[in-house]
Chain A
Amino acid sequence: MRPKIAIPDDGRLAANILHFARALRAAGLPVGSGRVVLAVRAVGVGGFERRQDFYHTLAACFVSRPEQRAVFDQCFHMFWRDPQILEKMMSLVLPELRTPPTEREKQAGEDRAAAGLTHGLDIPPPPRAEAEREEVVYDAALTFSSQETLNSRDFEQMTAAEAAEAKRAIAGLRLPARPIPSRRKIADLRGQIADWRRTMRAAMRNGGDIRVLARRRRRQRWPALVALVDISGSMAAYSRVLLQFLHAVANQPGHGWSAVHAFTFGTRLTNVTRHLRARDADEALSRAGAEAQDWEGGTRIGACLEAFNKDWSRRVLGQGAVVLMITDGLDRDDPKRLAREAERLHLSARQVIWLNPLLRWDGFEARAQGVKALLPHVDSFRPVHNIDSLEALAEALGRPDDGGEKARLLAAGKEAA
């Protein structure tokens, strides 16, 4: 049975499949030479009567994730109509690859520089009314050792130099994971579980005499960390720093987390996990910035959480993941929807920790409707506005029952009502 598709004469088919694989590679599919060999063999054994069969065969060999299907589809239809189209297609595909927008990053840098010159005076105040900068003990603070000052200074009020300093300090921060017991076991002299296999082997060496019971204990395994970072306007001063922190956590050696996933949200949800893997923190941030289009815009927490729950929660929250939700909770959407999605998130994750920079103000109360909706559905509620609070977070993660400020605020909320 000869394939009835427009394929050049004998011997050319393998070459064309190779070219097709290269086209797929140019379009971003991870196609190794092993796959190409597989495809050539598969096409060889398939008795194809229809173009459709040929399509399914190549798809089975070259596609390995559902999201790759669309790309494969396009490539297939363009390439096998006219294999000469490779060059043309590459020029069509390439412009879609995103280049990091350097202007944007530069702009942010400029803002920062200006802010540094005016000592942070013209940074817009936090949206809460009672945010009247009580830290105008600013000059006095300079008499402390510089490290100490830096640790307690609010990210929002840092000058450019301090921000650079903070960046270095943050790169050194750690966020250790708390291990969870696995069902797997490991040999341990003082373990609680009998290891029959080793016991029997030892008995064999003693002529069938069981002298000691070999023991083992449960092995520990490491959960994944999922961070949801609010990048809306009201969080502007914090989101970059916190992404930097996440970059440090994701790239520190031996951090324990089995995986670190990061998402940004403002008006829409963006997965920036891939970008955090870039070695350089600035590079990672600028790539993430290019991917997330809603930087410093409005906030729709409810809608973004819903998108996360629907598209990602089942894929990243399995096997005991810990969720870090970094937002000020200022949301104008329907609070009912927000509460519903927060509950769903809480039910799917092992632990949800809410980090809120506004919590630094002593007078912070759960008055905003978004805050009220979110608060009952998190395990822990903590401030995150300076390096000290990030260090405290690392320590709090080690304690399973840490609730942060949640209980106090919930009680205060009830009293007020």
Chain B
Amino acid sequence: MPNLPTSIDETQALFEGTGYVCGRALATVAYLSLKLGRPLFLEGEAGVGKTEVAKALAEALGRRLIRLQCYEGLDAAQAVYDWNYPAQMIEIRLAEAGGTADRDYLADELFSERFLTRRPLLEAMEPQPGGPPVLLIDELDRTDEPFEAFLLEALSDFQVTVPELGTIKAEEPPIVIITSNRTREIHDALKRRCLYHWVDYPDAERELAILAARAPEVSRKLSEEVVGFVQRLRTEDLFKRPGVAETIDWAKCLVALDALELDQDLVSSTLGALLKYQDDIARFRDSQANKVLDEVKQAMTGAAAGTAAGAA
């Protein structure tokens, strides 16, 4: 089991070992979060790799990843624990049939750990093989304020209370990573307890490195074209700009179609992998896509000529 990193460089190397290409800023924040035991709050557009941070961290540290996907109306029964009611009912019937149905026996039996269904938050508080787990609270913005307030309490003491069993406290606090797509503003009280990091779209160089790590089957030339195209697309006037996840998807689509380089037909028939809104696709499909493609190609041949000249 790898130990916690002892410097920012080590953190960066740790991430890169799992194929997650990570900038200096993210490495710094992740290192501090591990060192200080503070939750890491990651905010950014959809598809920039927020969730991947948690996955990579869990993999790199050899810890278990426990994921709590948030949604509107998420409550304690789904987030912390629940009782297994059908099994409890059968237990009552069995006790009746066996004639052992006295009150104290049932009280002890029915609400014991045997019938407890553990949900992510409770699980994260319990010791796991390999050390404290990585708790990923994904898309916190989808849930509502009452749950946020509850989380605030759970995350400040790293303990949850099950009335029938008592308080369960984490011996070693889990590594907490919270992500938000910013469909609403998360309350400052929660953010205050976390280290905040805004995950931006990567620049061309880093995106190329990400693509090489995540989709090694894509040829160098195609990768460069794909990244050039996507980078250029992000400067366009779009309702939803494509994230890194879309870049990887698109590159994989192109490989599946045995493409060696981008051309106009290919771009317009696979645009759905990049743009997810009909208005964006409609606006982009015909003229603009070709224009962008030409620009990207030109820039690439220009760069290639430049390096060739430099080499000569």
Known: A47-B7, A183-B72, A315-B183. A53 touches B28 (CB 8 A): yes
Name the one of A200, A210, A316 contacting B184, with C-beta atoms under 8 angstroms: A316
A interface majority secondary structure: helix
Give which listed residue, A57, A182, A340, contacts B279 with CB less than 8 A: A340
Please tell me if the beta carbons of A200 and B88 are within 8 angstroms of each other in the complex: yes
- A53 and B8 in contact (CB under 8 A), knowing A60-B197, A197-B85, A314-B182? yes
Of B95-103, B119-127, B167-175, B246-254, the one with at least 4 CB within 8 A of chain A: B95-103
B1-47 interface (Cβ within 8 A of A): 6-8, 24-25, 28-29, 31-32, 35-36, 38, 41, 43
Q: Does chain B have a CB within 8 A of A146? A: no
> Chain A contact residues (Cβ within 8 angstroms of B): what range?
35 or more
List which B94-121 residues lie within 8 A (CB) of chain A.
Answer: 95-96, 101-103, 106-107, 110-111
Chain A residues with CB under 8 A of B102: 207
A170 to B106, CA, bound (A): 61
Tell me if B222 is interfacial: C-beta within 8 Å of chain A.
Answer: no
Query: Are A52 and B85 in contact (CB-based, < 8 A)?
Result: no
Q: How distant is the Cα of A182 from the Cα of B75 in the complex, in angstroms?
A: 11
Chain A residues with Cβ below 8 Å from B191 are 64
A6–B184 Cα distance when bound, in Å, is 39
Judge whether A182 and B32 touch: CB under 8 Å. no
Asked whether A197 lies within 8 Å of B106 as measured between CB atoms, the reply is no
Q: A30–B188 contact, CB under 8 A?
A: yes
**Interface residue A407 (Cβ < 8 Å from any Cβ of B):** no
- What does the 1/0 interface line of A281-316 toward B look like (CB < 8 Å)? 000000000000000000000000000011000111
Nearest CB in chain B: distance from A333 CB, A = 15
**Assembled-state Cα–Cα distance A315/B25 (Å):** 25
Indicate which residue in A42, A199, A340 contacts B36 across the interface (CB closer than 8 Å).
A42
9-residue interface stretch from A31-39, A238-246, A358-366, A377-385:
A31-39
A221→B144 CA distance, assembly (Å): 10
Residues in B whose Cβ lies below 8 Å from that of A49: 8
Q: What is the CA–CA distance of A203 and B107 in the complex, to the nearest angstrom?
A: 10
**In contact, A207 and B106 (Cβ under 8 angstroms):** yes
Which residue of A has the minimal Cβ distance to B106? A208
Roughly how many angstroms separate A182 CA and B6 CA in the complex, as a whole number?
Answer: 46
Q: Please give the number of chain B residues whose Cβ is less than 8 angstroms from any Cβ of chain A in the complex.
A: 52
Task: Tell whether A64 pairs with B196 under 8 Å between CB atoms, given A197-B83, A200-B85.
Answer: yes
Known: A64-B191, A197-B83. A57 touches B75 (CB 8 A): no
**Across the interface, which residues of A come within 8 angstroms of B239, CB to CB?**
309-310, 344
Whether B192 lies near A35 (C-beta < 8 A) is yes
Q: Which of A28-64 contact B (CB under 8 A)?
A: 30, 32, 34-35, 38, 41-42, 45-47, 49, 52-53, 56-57, 59-61, 63-64
Residues of B within 8 A of A (CB): 6-8, 24-25, 28-29, 31-32, 35-36, 38, 41, 43, 71-75, 77, 82-83, 85, 88-89, 92, 95-96, 101-103, 106-107, 110-111, 141-142, 144, 181-185, 188, 191-192, 195-198, 239, 279
Report which A residues bind B (CB closer than 8 A): 30, 32, 34-35, 38, 41-42, 45-47, 49, 52-53, 56-57, 59-61, 63-66, 69, 182-185, 196-197, 199-200, 203-204, 207-208, 210, 221, 309-310, 314-316, 318-319, 340, 343-344
